[in-house]
Amino acid sequence: MGDKAFRLMRRREMRRGLGLPPIAAETPYAELLAANETSRKFPGVLGVAMADLRAGQQRLAEPGPSALVRHPLAPHFLGKGINPVVFNWPRRGPVDLYRYEDIFMVAEGGMAMFFRGTEVDEQSTGLARGVAELAGLPAIDIPRAAYIDDIYKATNPCHFMVDRLPRVYHYTRLAGFADHECVTVNAKSAYPCYALEHVAPEVRVLEPLTLYHFDELFVLSTCARPIGHPFFFLDEGVLEFVLGGMARGLPQPAQRRRIYLSRFATERRRLVNEAALADMLSGRGFEILEMSDFSPQEQLAAMRQAELIVAPHGAALASMVAATPQNRVLELFNPKRGTAAYGAMAVAVGAPYTPLYGTPVDEPGLDDPWQVDVAAVAAALDAPPAWAGGGA
């Protein structure tokens, strides 16, 4: 079912397609569908309506205070131009479990549409271009399943490990589901496969752009509205579940290596003076690594064997799930893009950690280019870390 007519649209994409001016907030699908009834730009969704198709709801976790807003690292992320994530959320939770009966689903690329006929559920994170046509197609039947995905693509290793896998914990430890009842879509790249194998090997991987029918489907409230990134506010049970599995089979921590996780191979968030930074670090005994050249196990092992890790913010730092209090991390930030997720991961594993912010660069044609003060990086390596590690 790879036909373009059945591909999913996010709200912003549909808004652009309707010719509406961009706005900061997300436009509800109900408003976009109403606008489409007039413009008829998307004929495949004419007559489609948003509805609450849930058959039941259960609260798995009550809201409560989060101590992370008072963590010593919190001031290093607030007001810096990046998303401080859990360091700026004074309350954690809640987590609700939604139950659906006799429901259809199609999903791709961090989007999912739950529907019945021409009614689409309000928890959907994507809208197919041909909803009415989908309703008449044969579907793969699954009696009962618990959906673990969210708005991020399965290819993102960090979000997969620290957001999707915690939902397996919520389903299996809090709601009594079996591992094999949990489902994820298109988790076929190296890191998600490794993570599933070591943490939750019985989770079922579904195909994208394929129509499924469920007698019973369960969806967590955090799927459509992810909160608590990463590890659901560093929940102790979640951390034990995910980190324990990811560490299985890795070497013991060692302090023999110094590594720099480069961004030479990517055009996104270009660090324009990365060559000068790499030269300085090489002179201090650092290995310059391109993490995508290594298997997930090799990446995790490199993180665990390094006494010092320097890296620009990015997916290469997902391997911090294997770090320990013996692995010190210096994370470099483009001041316009990024999150404090890896700072939170440092807290989770007890790794000494320092964030260091660069400055934007005006270079037309580059994606959010920036530079870092190489002397400031050297000084940060010689100074004590912003957080010394150990207990949270």
Q: What is the mean pLDDT of the chain?
A: 93
Q: Which two tokens stand for residue 296?
A: 């997930």
- Average pLDDT on 83-100 reads 94
Distances in Å between the Cα of 36 and the Cα atoms of 14, 114, 156 are 9, 20, 32
Three-point CA angle 6, 7, 10, nearest 5°: 130
**Is 265 a residue whose pLDDT tops 80?**
no
Q: How far apart are CA 136 and CA 280, in angstroms?
A: 62
Tell me the average pLDDT across 221-235: 94
Specify the DSSP element, H or E, that contains 92. Answer: strand 91-92
pLDDT tens for residues 356-383?
Answer: 999 999 888 787 899 999 999 999 999 9
Q: Which residues of 56-95 are buried (b: 16+ CB within 10 A; e: fewer)?
A: eeeebbeeeebebeebebbebbeeeebebbbbeeeebbeb
Span of 181-185, 199-203, 258-262, 268-272 with lowest mean pLDDT: 268-272
How far is residue 385's CA from residue 280's CA, in Å, rounded to a whole number?
Answer: 19
Asked whether residue 260 carries a pLDDT value surpassing 70, the answer given is yes
For the four alpha carbons of 106, 112, 115 and 117, in that order, the dihedral sign comes to: negative
Report how far apart, in Å, the C-alpha atoms of 178 and of each of 8, 145, 194, 346 are.
29, 10, 20, 30
Cα 107 to Cα 217: distance, rounded to the nearest angstrom: 14
> Do residues 110 and 208 make contact, with C-beta atoms less than 8 angstroms apart?
no
Strands 257-261 and 306-312: parallel
Cβ proximity of 148 and 168 under 8 Å: yes
**What span, in angstroms and rounded, lies between the C-alpha atoms of 154 and 161?**
10
Residue with the two structure tokens 């665990």: 304
Domain parsing of the chain, residue ranges: 4-62+88-246, 257-382
Helix (H) or strand (E) holding 343: helix 341-349
Taking a C-beta distance cutoff of 8 angstroms, is the pair 342, 329 a contact?
A: yes
Give this prediction's pTM: 0.93
* Res 24: pLDDT: 84
CA 323 to chain centre: 19
- What's the CA gap between 233 and 213, in Å, rounded? 33
Helix 296-304 to helix 190-199 angle, to the nearest 10 degrees?
Answer: 70
CB 12 within 8 A of CB 81: no
257-382 folds as Rossmann fold (3.40.50)
The predicted pLDDT at position 129 comes to 93
Residue 1 has pLDDT above 80, yes or no: no
DSSP states of 96-149? EEEEEEEEEEEEETTEEEEEETTEEETT-S-EETTHHHHTTS--EEEEEEEE--
Name the phi and psi angles at 146, rounded to 5.
Answer: -125, 115
The predicted pLDDT at position 256 comes to 81
